[in-house]
Amino acid sequence: MAGPLSGLKVIELQGRGPGPFGTMVMADLGAEVVSVGRVEAVAAADHESPMERMFQGHRRIDLVTRGKRAVALDLKRPEGRAALLRLIERADVLVEGHRPGVAERLGVGPDDCLGINPALVYARITGWGQDGPYASTPGHDINYISLAGPLDHFRRPGQAPMPPLNLLGDYGGGGMLLVVGVLGALFERSRSGRGQVVDTAMVDGVGLLTTLFYGLRAEGLWSDQPGSNILDLGAPHYNVYETSDGRYVSVGAGEPQFYAELLRRLGLEGDLVAEQGDPARWAGTRDRLAALFRTRTRSEWCELLEGTDTCFAPVLNMAEAPAHPHHVARGSFVQVDGVVQPAPAPRFGRTPAGRPGPPVNAGQHTEEVLGDWGFGPDEVGDLLASGTAAQA
């Protein structure tokens, strides 16, 4: 495959959320990713997870599996565990997202895997981490961003918090940080020749993303009152406004020169620029801007403000975003097998990522992968015949 991670061999113990997203990023960048799932998932829909049951009656298009190959093994059988360990012997990275202790009970914990492959990067991704009072309890993105602190600021005064989908915990503080950890461990391995365990906890990652705000708070420049700060819809110059057709636009004119240009184009020149640094006067200015933006449609505001030094952008939905001229010009979205989806990112000048592959189903490549990774035809046949492995 094309991309800067071409040649990297990654095994993923199939899960949900941040782990598969992190390995998708690696696959996008050229890594060979093998997702190891359960044999039951191949044979019976009765074993669908609650998340899968939400989609009953709809064709599943699990894009975070794109570009991977899928193997199905029964890890509760000694033969299944032995087969996985043989794969791990040849791998550079293993990603597992079980609760603490589960991988150890399956016989594929860090000691088991690093014992046979000392150069392995053993990457763990959990919500709460491997230790601490919450470590053994279940949770999801909304819980992690609650405990880490930022969820309280995703609201206007008097309203309940509204989580930013599951982008912050699962993907920003989880999957992306997992990738950073893996790349850091691989760089260190290039000097030492030794692998190590990477412990990624979403609650840690979300906390890390709030570092700037702890600094602002220490300076007295950030209030614990939601909706009163420059970046949480407290400021008139950094806000979202409704338009006359019920759509929305965003302005992010944090610097005085951009705010002055915004006000000039809105016909509000005068002393409002001086008020930008006075939080006590923000509420009145917000009301004035809100009333003004409600006088025109989103398209009319785009005609006036897009492409200007006003830090302006329309608020687009997922149907509109791929068709916006900026995304079209950059190729920010691609279509694979008729499905529109984000293109791989970031971009590389000398080793660009290739076009993403299609999503895969459980056990779709069991025979192919086992053969490619050193199993003989008879061995593969025995694993399939015994039910230790399954081919979709």
Q: What one-letter code names the amino acid at 370?
A: L
Q: What one-letter code names the amino acid at 322?
A: P
Q: Over the range 173-202, which residues count as b (16 or more CB within 10 Å of their CB) and which as e?
A: bbbbbbbebbbebbeebeeeeebbbbbbbb
Residuewise pLDDT in 10s, the chain (392 residues): 689 999 999 999 998 899 999 999 999 999 999 999 999 999 754 445 555 555 555 557 899 999 999 999 999 999 999 999 999 999 999 999 999 999 999 999 999 999 999 999 999 999 999 999 999 999 999 999 999 999 999 998 889 999 999 999 999 999 999 999 999 999 999 999 999 999 999 999 999 999 999 999 999 999 999 999 999 999 999 999 999 999 999 999 999 999 999 999 999 877 677 788 889 999 999 999 999 999 999 999 999 999 999 999 999 999 999 999 999 999 999 999 999 999 999 999 999 999 999 999 999 999 999 999 999 999 999 999 999 999 99
List, by residue number, the catalytic residues.
140, 170
Q: Over the range 58-77, which residues count as b (16 or more CB within 10 Å of their CB) and which as e?
A: eeeeebbbbbbbbbbbbbeb
The whole-number pLDDT of residue 46 equals: 41
Domain annotation for the chain: domains and CATH numbers: 9-209+332-390 (3.40.50.10540), 238-242+248-314 (3.30.1540.10)
Q: Over the range 88-116, which residues count as b (16 or more CB within 10 Å of their CB) and which as e?
A: beebbbbbbbbebeebeebbbbbebbbee
| Cβ 62 vs Cβ 96: under 8 Å | no
Q: Please, which residues have CB within 8 angstroms of residue 292's CB and are 6 or more apart in sequence?
A: 266, 268
The whole-number pLDDT of residue 270 equals: 72
pTM, two decimal places: 0.93
